[in-house]
Amino acid sequence: MTVAKGGLPPKPASRPGRVSLWRYMRLFRRDILSAQPERLYRAWMAEFRTPFFRSFLINQPDLIEEILKTRPMDFPKSDRVGEGLRPLLGQSVFLTNGETWARQRRIIDPAFEGGRLREVLPEMQAAGLAAVDRMSPGVQDIEPAMSHAAADVIFRTLFSIPIEDEIATGVYRQFRAYQRSQPILNAAAFLPLPRWVPRGHRVGTLRAARAIRTLIGDLTRRRVDEIAAGTAPDDLATKILTARDPETGEGLSAAEMVDQVAIFFLAGHETSASALSWTLYLLARYPEWQDRVAEEFDALSDDPGPGDIARLTLTRDVFREALRLYPPVPMMVREARCAGTFRGRPVRAGAQVVISPWHLHRHQRLWDNPDGFDPGRWRTENGKACQRQAYIPFSVGARVCPGAGFAMMEGPLLLALFLRRFRFERVAGADPVPVAFLTVRSRDGIRLRVTRR
Measured torsion, CA atoms of residues 231, 235, 237, 240, in degrees rounded to the nearest 10: 100
Extents of the domains making up the chain: 21-452
Instruction: Give the span between the Cα atoms of 125 and 132, in whole angstroms.
Output: 10
Instruction: Give the span between the Cα atoms of 153 and 265, in whole angstroms.
Output: 10
Contact 107, 256 (CB under 8 A): no
Measured torsion, CA atoms of residues 375, 380, 383, 384, in degrees rounded to the nearest 10: 120
Instruction: Give the span between the Cα atoms of 237 and 217, in whole angstroms.
Output: 12
Measured CA angle at 171 (ends 166, 176), to 5 deg? 125
Letter for the amino acid at 253?
Answer: S
* 453 residues of the chain, pLDDT tens digit each: 444 566 899 998 877 667 666 666 666 667 788 888 899 999 999 998 877 778 999 999 999 999 999 999 999 998 877 777 888 899 999 999 999 999 999 999 999 987 778 899 999 999 999 999 999 999 999 999 999 999 999 999 999 999 999 999 999 999 887 876 655 555 555 555 555 455 456 677 888 899 999 999 999 999 999 999 999 999 999 999 999 999 999 999 888 999 999 999 888 888 999 999 999 999 999 999 999 999 998 887 677 777 778 889 999 999 999 999 999 999 999 999 999 999 999 999 999 999 999 999 999 999 999 999 999 999 999 999 999 999 999 999 999 999 999 999 999 999 999 999 999 999 999 999 999 877 899 999 999 999 998
Which residues does 285 contact at the CB level (< 8 Å), separation at least 6? 6, 9, 373, 426
Q: What is the pTM of this model?
A: 0.92
How high is the pLDDT of residue 184?
Answer: 52
Tell me the pairing of strands 422-426 and 434-436. Answer: unpaired
For 36, 124, 159, 227, 418, the CA distances from 134, given in Å and listed in that order, are 39, 16, 22, 33, 11
How high is the pLDDT of residue 80?
Answer: 74
Letter for the amino acid at 251?
Answer: G
Q: What element of type H or E holds 134?
A: helix 121-134
Instruction: Give the span between the Cα atoms of 142 and 339, in whole angstroms.
Output: 46
How high is the pLDDT of residue 1?
Answer: 45
Contact 90, 96 (CB under 8 A): no
Instruction: Give the span between the Cα atoms of 407 and 322, in whole angstroms.
Output: 13
How high is the pLDDT of residue 206?
Answer: 86
Which residues does 123 contact at the CB level (< 8 Å), separation at least 6? 153, 156, 157, 160, 235
Measured torsion, CA atoms of residues 299, 305, 310, 315, in degrees rounded to the nearest 10: 50
Fold of 21-452: Cytochrome p450 (1.10.630)
Three-state SS sequence of 174-216: HHHHHHHHCCCCCHHHCCCCCCCCCCCCCHHHHHHHHHHHHHH
